[in-house]
Amino acid sequence: MQRGRKDVTFFEKKVTKKTFCSLGRGRLNQYGIKESKVFLLLFLQKKKFLLACFCLAAGPAWAQGPVTTVTIGGGGVAISPLLYGVNYSWDQIPVAEYAVYRGAMDDVAHVTLSRYLGGWGAESYDWSANVETGKYAGRAQGEAPAAFLDSVKAASFITPSVAAVKDPAYIGQTARFDAFLVGKYGGRVKYWEIGNEWWLQGGAKKSAARREKNLENYAALVAQAAPAMKAANPGIEVFVMADWVAPDEILRMRQIAGTGWDAVDGISVHSYCGTTDAARRCDALPAGMQAVRQAAGKTLIYASEWAAVRAMNPDDEGARNAALTVSALGEMAAAGVQLAAYWPPVGLVPALNFCATDFRTAYATGIAFGWMSQYYEGTALEASGGALAARQGDEVTVIFPSGDAGPQDVRVKLDGTGLTGVVSAAVLYTDGGKQGEVADLPVTIEQEGGEKFAVFSLDIGGAGRGTAYEIARVTLR
């Protein structure tokens, strides 16, 4: 499945696989992404070779620093196309703004899955009136369920759980309502979560006793709700909420749910991660997800909220956050996560957003996410040097988050890969803020010591490039 790679509408005008045309240096597109001159690629398929003519903008060469060699290895882990989802925060995007928001999610982030009600709103939402209730009453009104489903490629819905978690007397009523929702929308929505993360909140962070009681009540709800939901529509998949670093709690939940656990298809986790929290490092995701699977006795995992969050990283702006987002997606792919929904793509935490609140100014994190959705598909390959690599058909895309080492050369070793030429390449950077800028990336094929490399340079910190982090994308054939 290829989503937009051969007919690019994102930052490169609408062009085909046969040719890339020049965009003009420094122009802003409709999302505020600075577009630089793109090199011309002519694919001479009848002759079975690739002629790459690079039309490079004039400018002085820069002194290079470290050299990173990327070696592409084997692989075999299939990358789920539903890894590139987002949370639709219902009360953050009113109906009047929804169409523009949807356009940004499609054109910038290339979103493949949308999670309805986007978290907390699911626990206070009146499904019949399309309003929030209780202390959230009066908030901006978002898109109604049917209209939302008309606009997205795939969706997941969150059913309410809070009343049952607070008071087990409401378990039966809540389970029946959850099954009613499945009966109404299950023909259009395959993925269903029982509650958001309320049992993990609701006093659970401050009191171990409260957390245990919340877990018991939630597990008792699962025991009734999951079978009822599957009875309403056997074709759906039911996910239960758990903490990805606490597999013992999943075992406890499984014991309480008893035979009701048989109706559960997978585990929903909020896998916020970073670099400074040892327990929740992004590179701990593969091991963490494996522990979740073992405890649950289920293979499906839905990272229903995730981001490289501020509290777990030393800074949170611009290209660095984009680079961490790329790396986290790579870890989730390696962990075999089947579904994921980023939070928040807009609003609430601006440093993590894909675009500005006008939905027209694209941020580096959104552009990087879109690159991953377009190009990091097929089969994940092993890659050294901090790079990610994926094979789709006869093409391999290498995505390289630079880190903060300053100007540097990168060499992608081609020997043994069957790759001989460059299909396309680009670099993403910022001027020090959040707004992303995309430029062409010259790549040459060089012989060195009997070995062949695809070589490119990153002008980190150069003129107009105030960030210490850049992301390169090179597609090879």
Give the pLDDT confidence of 281-320 residue by residue, as tens digits.
Answer: 999 999 999 999 999 999 999 999 999 987 888 765 678 8
What number is the average pLDDT over the span 38-49?
Answer: 32
Question: For 417-435, how does the pLDDT look when each residue is reduced to its tens digit (9 = 90+)?
Answer: 999 999 999 999 988 788 9
Question: For 105-140, how does the pLDDT look when each residue is reduced to its tens digit (9 = 90+)?
Answer: 999 999 999 999 988 888 999 999 999 998 888 888
Give me the domains of the chain, ranges plus CATH numbers: 66-77+381-476 (2.60.40), 79-378 (3.20.20.80)
Q: What φ, ψ does residue 10 adopt, rounded to 5°?
A: -80, -75
pLDDT at 259 (0 to 100): 98
pLDDT at 76 (0 to 100): 80
Question: For 175-203, how does the pLDDT look when each residue is reduced to its tens digit (9 = 90+)?
Answer: 999 999 999 999 999 999 999 998 998 88
What number is the average pLDDT over the span 366-382?
Answer: 97
Tokens representing 285 are: 């995701």
pLDDT of 162 over the 80 cut = yes
pLDDT of 75 over the 50 cut = yes
pLDDT of 440 over the 70 cut = yes
User: What distance, in Å, lies between the first and last C-alpha atoms of the chain?
Assistant: 18
What number is the average pLDDT over the span 449-476?
Answer: 87
pLDDT at 42 (0 to 100): 29
101-107 CB contacts, 8 Å cutoff, 24+ apart: 101/346, 101/359, 102/151, 102/152, 103/359, 104/31, 104/346, 104/354, 104/355, 104/359, 104/360, 104/362, 104/366, 105/345, 105/354, 107/9, 107/10, 107/30, 107/31
pLDDT at 23 (0 to 100): 27
In the predicted model, what is the mean pLDDT of the chain?
86
Tokens representing 443 are: 């790549």
Higher pLDDT: 315 or 376? It is: 376
pLDDT at 33 (0 to 100): 62
Higher pLDDT: 106 or 74? It is: 106
What number is the average pLDDT over the span 391-413?
Answer: 91
pLDDT at 317 (0 to 100): 65
Which of 144-148, 164-168, 318-322, 436-440 is predicted with the least confidence, judged by mean pLDDT?
Answer: 318-322
How many residues in total does the chain contain? 477
Tokens representing 279 are: 């327990």
- Residue 467 pLDDT class (50, 70, 90 cuts): low
